[in-house]
Amino acid sequence: MSVTAAASGFVVLLLTVTVVQGEDDWGVRCTPTQICAVKGSKVQIRCSYWHPSRIDGHDVAVEKEFWFTKVQDSEPVDLRSASEYTGRVKYDCGNKACTLTITDLRDSDSDVYQFRFTTNHPTGSLTGLPGVSLSVTGVQVLTTKLSACKTDDCSWSRVECQTSCPPTPSPSYIWFKSGQKTSGEKSYTAYFHSADSISCAVRGHEDFPSAPVCVDGNSCNRVNYINRNICAFKGSSVDISCSYSSYYKRITSKSWLVAERKDVQLHRPQAVDLLKDPEFTARVQVLDPEPGRSTLRIMNLRLSDSAQYRFTFKSQWFEWERSFPGTTLTVTDPDVQVICSPIGPTLTCHSSCLLSGRPSFVWFKNGREVHGETSPTFRGFLHPENNYSCAYEHHHSSPVYAPKVPLVQLSQPGDILKDSSVSLTCSSDANPPPAYTWYKENQTLLNRAAQLVFRSIPLSDSGEYYCTAENELGKTTSKRVLINVKYAPKPPSVSVSPSGEIMEGSSVTLTCSSDANPAANYTWYKEDEDSPTASGQIFTITNITAEHGGKYQCEAQNTHGRSNTTLHLTVGAVSPGSWRSALIGSAAAVFLAVTLLSVFLLIR
């Protein structure tokens, strides 16, 4: 079943119609299939897939979902373990669909991205073909001076927004004239003042405009950010820098602002000078190392500092537009990602913050540093008993470890009664979070979830149960728990021994048996007698006399209820005409049968 499906719905349809029968049960569909995205921005690719739920009587379960662009030793390399993408890729999977997000796009990300899923079925793996083609483009403005104005501080010029691929979905452009947003086509012709700078962006990627350029001359008003994306760890400090120039030489004020913060709860007015913002004043510094350059330093970073930071300046005649996109800061903690590969799990110290320079990682096993492990991927042997964590630039991740032995919890204490509803819950401490599976006795797979629910438990569900917890680092099995379904006694059956006629002076043994859980206790009553005649399953009467004749009742009882059966004992005299006794004996048997039948009907 080496199935291939295409990324576009149309081609999938084509395949399912023409390709070998059965393959329409398997498929991958991704949208969009052609993407042109702007450098520095992020892109999302979504693939959904389907597969048969059962094959040859076995449940099909998905084991892995991932994207790849490269194949190494005939195995696709999970994007998350490719060093070029460290810290920039994220998967969001669920409900048979996965979304891949690649942030801070680079030119080298232009490639064909293929989605693959594998299942527990030996041949049940599928790669979505032909994949999703991503092109990453820079944005720049091409200016052409058509003619000079009468005064020499302006020009009649044509500006064109250039990208190396047609931006998707539909190309539409945004222009920033001296930082101020205007709308426009891909290109336009207008008068430009020598003070004007021009920058363009692709709609949908407004935060990633081209570097502003002067249309005429070289001394226009402009602000150019050194980085459009910066990432930093919580607690660390970060420098955000820009270069700027002013056409009117006397700058009256400069400030750094914060915009588009994620925590809207603060209700802060947008674009407040950070030096005056109570949340920042103590933590920020503005450095002006040289004319035309400004650096904002934020110290002791908080996760809530993730936002866009902008620079603005004012001169006597001009103010740089506060809405012109600045540098987006992301504050994070590092974390360890566990990635399955054909050679077993591998650990990657993931961080959306790869600071410039040679990143140096530190790995820890059970909290103790592993010397010599400095790469983002841990190369040592992984033992399921250990826990692993990493640190990057002195920022620690939380540890990852295989599941601890799972605990099983029953929904309620005490006996489980037939037809009651009951559930078993499996729980284990693990990171990444484990997947749970429930089994009965001889590895009969029951459920792939933490909870096993019986809505109305039948007797046949009695037995031993256990669960497993599994993550990428290992698998553990719980203790077995016994489910013993209890029930009240069924109507007992009574046997008489010896069978046949009962004669005076002989002995007879009555045996009562009832199906019950827990086992029933038995009590015998004779008609017209208040107190029990005997107790126990077997009741023997020796040296029978005529007084022993009559109705007897056997009652079976356990903690969940009781049930009884009546029989008639007839004692024959030792006298001629033994045919009469025999007749009475058989009458008794008929009576017993009728009683049993009526009790049975009554119960029904």
Ligand X SMILES: *[C@@H]1O[C@H](CO)[C@@H](O)[C@H](O)[C@H]1NC(C)=O
Closest residue by Cα to residue 193 from 151, 140, 223: 151
Within 10 angstroms of residue 420's Cβ, the number of other Cβ atoms is 15
Contact of 38 with 202, CB cutoff 8 Å:
yes
CA 35 to CA 168: how far, in whole Å? 6
Whether the bond into 498 is cis, omega within 30 of 0:
yes
Amino acid sitting at position 253:
S
* b/e per residue 323-357 (b: at least 16 CB within 10 A): ebbbbbbbbbbbbbbbbbbeeebbbbbbbbbbeee
List of residues contacting ligand X (CB under 6 A): 366-367, 387, 399, 401
Beta strand pairing status for 125-128 and 111-119? antiparallel
CA 175 to CA 209: how far, in whole Å? 9
CA 128 to CA 519: how far, in whole Å? 60
Closest residue by Cα to residue 167 from 211, 133, 199, 136: 136
CA 375 to CA 358: how far, in whole Å? 10
Beta strand pairing status for 111-119 and 132-137? antiparallel
DSSP line for 375-391: SSEE-S---TT-EEEEE
Contact of 240 with 298, CB cutoff 8 Å:
yes
Q: Which is nearer to ligand X, 323 or 387 (CB)?
A: 387
